[in-house]
Amino acid sequence: MHVERTGQGPALLLVHGWAMHGGVFAPLVRALEVAFNVITVDLPGHGGSRDSALPLALDPVSDALAALIDEQPSKRALVAGWSLGGLAATALAARHPDRVRGLAMLAASPRFVQGPDWPAGMDPRVFELFGEELGRDYRGTLDRFLMLEAQGSAHLREELRYLRDAVYARGEPAPRALQEGLGLLHDSDLRAALPGLAMPSLWIAGRRDRLVSPQAMQAAAALAPRSRFQQYDHAGHAPFLTEPGAVAEALTAFAADCAP
């Protein structure tokens, strides 16, 4: 996978969401690199990893992320996952707990869709429709998803413009990976892994998020030991774009409470 590193200090790995790449975190990285060695990756099929042979599946991706962390001097990292990246981060924390000193979920949930015991999730048909539309209108489907991500933000126009510029900044994401990612969002349920997490977790939500409700994140945080929940009232699905400085401060404070 394509990897970029910047800054000095303890390792902090950022994992992006569906259709994006590590470059989407640029505002957050600028706020974090003074205190961390920030590592961003492009997931398989995205950005610089567009031609990666690795499938966009939780087990191989989490194993690859663990190998990446193993290259660090401390062989441990604080791991933050946004949206789809939160699933990969959770799988990493569950499969390789010795590599993760703290798990931060940025507008991410262990289960994205509704169920009888998970009413705060999305209607599963949303992800099914995106999958059906990809083959007919690739760019239009991506744009509709970006609009859904930006909706609710107090800075909707600015965030939507940023996301539209970012999504193709490293080339078009591979259609195969987009379908695999939608499948993960539709099918994954990692709630059973949360009670056994060996590290603290931080759950950062946007009150106006249209994809991952704060209620779902609070319910998930309640399943994990040593968890804390933080909500940004003016943010939608990308709180690190709405308030990068505040999110960086929250991650820095959280890192101080995690085992070195």
| Catalytic residue chosen out of the listed positions 16, 49, 209, 213 | 209
Helical segments of the chain, H only: 26-32, 58-69, 84-95, 124-134, 138-150, 156-167, 175-187, 214-221, 239-242, 244-256
Q: Put the strands of the sheet holding 227-232 in their side by side order.
A: 2-6, 37-42, 11-15, 77-82, 100-106, 201-206, 227-232
**Active-site residue 209, yes or no?**
yes
CA distances from 226 to 43, 154, 180, 229, 246 (A): 28, 31, 32, 10, 21
| Catalytic residue chosen out of the listed positions 49, 52, 62, 83 | 83
Helical segments of 70-189, H only: 84-95, 124-134, 138-150, 156-167, 175-187
Neighbour tally for 5: CB within 10 Å = 14
**Active-site residue 83, yes or no?**
yes
Phi, psi of 80 (to 5 degrees): -125, 125
Residues belonging to the active site: 83, 209, 237
